Amino acid sequence: MRTTHMLVRSTVSLATLGALISCSSLPASSMALGEVRQRHAAIAADPDVNALATEELRAATASLRRAEQAEDASAPGAVVDHLAYLTEQRVKIAELTAQSRSAERVTAQAGQQRDAQRLAMRTEEANRAQQQLATAQRSSAAQTRMSDERIDSLEAQLLAMHAQKTERGMVVTLSDVLFSTGGTQLSARGEQSLMKLAELLKRYPTSAVVVEGHTDSTGSSAGNLALSDRRAREVVGVLVGMGIEERRLEVQAHGQDDPVATNSTAAGRQMNRRVELVFRDQR
């Protein structure tokens, strides 16, 4: 009688979990990473799971580690959420597998048809979770391919506009001659260059831009820092006026501290007087 009661409770729990799994949406996580971590800790402390679902628990632990590493590396929230979702599914698989194998032992001992039917139901639930996990993984791979293709296309178009590929990202440089002499207002030619960049930003809405202002070493350091900041903000203002969301644009003023050429010649100083737009993809 005690064994039968345990089996009934296990069946109710599994049916509830099966309903939760079948209602899960893909590929977004139904649980925050913190909740998944707690759920994993609970099954890791369960002796039945450790004894009866060793491989499944190991897979869930590895999946959790990947999600935590992504979070520690400040990966985008969507990436962390997706990895948390995959971990959640593996945790459920480990839990259901342990319950299924436990019920299988009871069935072998009891030899009752009713228990065999319950075992089949648990196995089906575990298989459904496995299928959902596989679907989520395929979706993740497809999204990654699409993202890579989109980035490659953006880079190609920026290279056509004479951008430079650097460790910081794709960099488009606006030279000093595109501003009023010694001033911050963009010339008509400068605005024309920004118009092309604005069109690119509209086509690639996940891309953000860091607008960096630079000067030569002529004048005071404080004055140069202020000038580089004003010029960078002028560029941001023009892009916002062209329809780009301000949240996608970040201003960094460097003044004379980051030259790309010598300040001992007129040509070198002109190269140092610039505004750089660094494209970064947010995925």
Its pTM stands at 0.46
pLDDT confidence of residue 37 = 93
User: Which pLDDT band holds residue 237 (cuts at 50, 70, 90)?
Assistant: very high
* Domains of the chain by start residue, with CATH: 2-147 (no CATH), 161-281 (3.30.1330.60)
Looking at every residue in the chain, the average pLDDT score rounds to 79
Give the highest mean pLDDT range of 4-8, 121-125, 130-134, 197-201. 197-201
Tokens of 207: 């891309």
Q: Alpha carbon of 242 to those of 85, 93, 194, 239: distances in Å?
A: 39, 51, 9, 5
pLDDT digits (tens, 9 = 90+) for 194-236: 888 898 888 888 889 999 999 999 889 999 999 999 999 999 9
pLDDT confidence of residue 233 = 94
pLDDT confidence of residue 137 = 65
pLDDT confidence of residue 46 = 92
Tokens of 272: 């140092």
pLDDT confidence of residue 17 = 40
Decide if pLDDT at 27 tops 50. no
Decide if pLDDT at 168 tops 70. yes
pLDDT digits (tens, 9 = 90+) for 37-46: 999 999 999 9
- Intra-chain end-to-end CA distance of the chain, in Å: 56
pLDDT confidence of residue 262 = 93
pLDDT confidence of residue 234 = 92
> How far, in Å, CA of 146 to CA of 167, rounded?
22
Average pLDDT (94-98) is 91
Pick the more confident residue, 145 or 252: 252
Decide if pLDDT at 29 tops 50. no
Please name which of 121, 116, 100 lies closest in space to residue 52, comparing C-alpha atoms: 100
Residue type present at position 15:
A
Decide if pLDDT at 241 tops 80. yes
pLDDT confidence of residue 24 = 43
pLDDT digits (tens, 9 = 90+) for 76-88: 888 888 998 999 9
pLDDT digits (tens, 9 = 90+) for 30-66: 458 999 999 999 999 999 899 988 999 999 999 999 9
Decide if pLDDT at 145 tops 80. no
Do residues 256 and 223 lie in contact, with contact meaning Cβ atoms separated by under 8 Å?
Answer: no
pLDDT confidence of residue 129 = 77
